[in-house]
């Protein structure tokens, strides 16, 4: 009888390329998920406040707080901030990024407290969108994490649009930051300061920034005091 051979079918080998592709996809998905979790988030509060939060902002007893318009940023065109597009902004000067990064590395949490009255109650409208885009771009430009609180409503005679006094010189934005956005850590007011251009000087549009700092009970500086060579916040 003739011998015969039974040929068994060998299991198909996995394609190294395919496995690599799967691993790469899983790695990419994991990295994307991580990147998304690190991205700043937005909240709208009480129909009168925009809140920009960043998970990289650690709670701190030391708060370095800033106004936005004509303090951290100015327009390229010279237009007023409320009338400008999101593409029309740049840092106030060449020292802004360096100073904020140095403060962050020294243990300060960076916060922005800004009146953005042009938004009004339209917290999903075009003006609000411009504010969001500006702050997201500012995070990338300055390469430093920060929280931002933007008051959008103004109390008028006979109509209370801002019952929580978020608008400066009320201290509602500061109180909300302490209560809900600082991990339960109470700021040491002696170690905190606020920087703004509205100081009540000749030519200033108001004194609302200096009033805000006084109401909160922290030191006040103008941009010209802080955004200079060296580390002025340590000696001022």
Q: What angle do CA 179, 182, 186 make, to 5 degrees?
A: 70
Does the pLDDT of residue 48 top 70, yes or no? yes
CA distance 153 to 162: 6
203-234: b or e for each residue (b if 16 or more CB lie within 10 Å)? ebeeebbbbbbeebebbbbbbeebbeeeeebe
Asked whether residue 143 carries a pLDDT value surpassing 50, the answer given is: yes
The two tokens of residue 107 are: 């243990």
* DSSP category for residue 149: E
Q: What is the pLDDT of residue 186?
A: 98
Instruction: Tell me how far apart the alpha carbons of residues 62 and 185 are, in angstroms, rounded to a whole number.
Output: 10
Per-residue pLDDT, averaged over 100-123, amounts to 95
Start-to-end CA distance of the chain, whole Å, equals 106
DSSP 69: B
Greater confidence (89 vs 6) lies with 89
Res 29 pLDDT > 50: no
Q: Which fold has domain 41-235?
A: Rossmann fold (3.40.50)
pLDDT of residue 229: 87
User: Would you state the pLDDT for residue 225?
Assistant: 95
């Amino acid at each position: 009888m003739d011998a015969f051979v039974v040929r068994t079918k060998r299991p198909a080998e996995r394609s190294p390329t395919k496995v690599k592709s799967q691993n790469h996809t899983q790695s990419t998905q994991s990295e994307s998920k991580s990147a998304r979790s690190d991205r700043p988030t937005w909240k709208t509060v009480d129909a009168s406040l925009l809140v920009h939060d960043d998970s990289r902002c650690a709670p701190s007893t030391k708060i370095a707080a800033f106004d936005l318009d004509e303090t951290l940023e100015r327009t390229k065109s010279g237009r007023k901030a409320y009338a400008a597009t999101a593409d029309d902004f740049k840092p106030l000067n060449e020292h802004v990024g360096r100073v904020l990064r140095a403060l962050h590395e020294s243990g300060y949490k960076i916060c922005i407290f800004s009146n953005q009255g042009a938004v009004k109650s339209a917290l999903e409208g075009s003006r609000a969108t411009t504010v969001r885009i500006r702050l997201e771009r500012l995070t990338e430009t300055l390469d430093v994490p920060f929280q931002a609180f933007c008051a959008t409503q103004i109390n008028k005679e006979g109509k209370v649009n801002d019952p929580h006094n978020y608008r400066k010189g009320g201290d509602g934005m500061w109180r909300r930051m302490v209560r809900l956005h600082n991990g339960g850590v109470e700021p040491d007011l002696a170690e905190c300061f606020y920087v703004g251009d509205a100081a009540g000087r000749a030519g200033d549009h108001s004194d609302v920034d200096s009033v805000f700092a006084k109401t909160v009970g922290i030191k006040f500086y103008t941009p010209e005091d802080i955004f200079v060579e060296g580390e002025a916040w340590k000696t001022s």
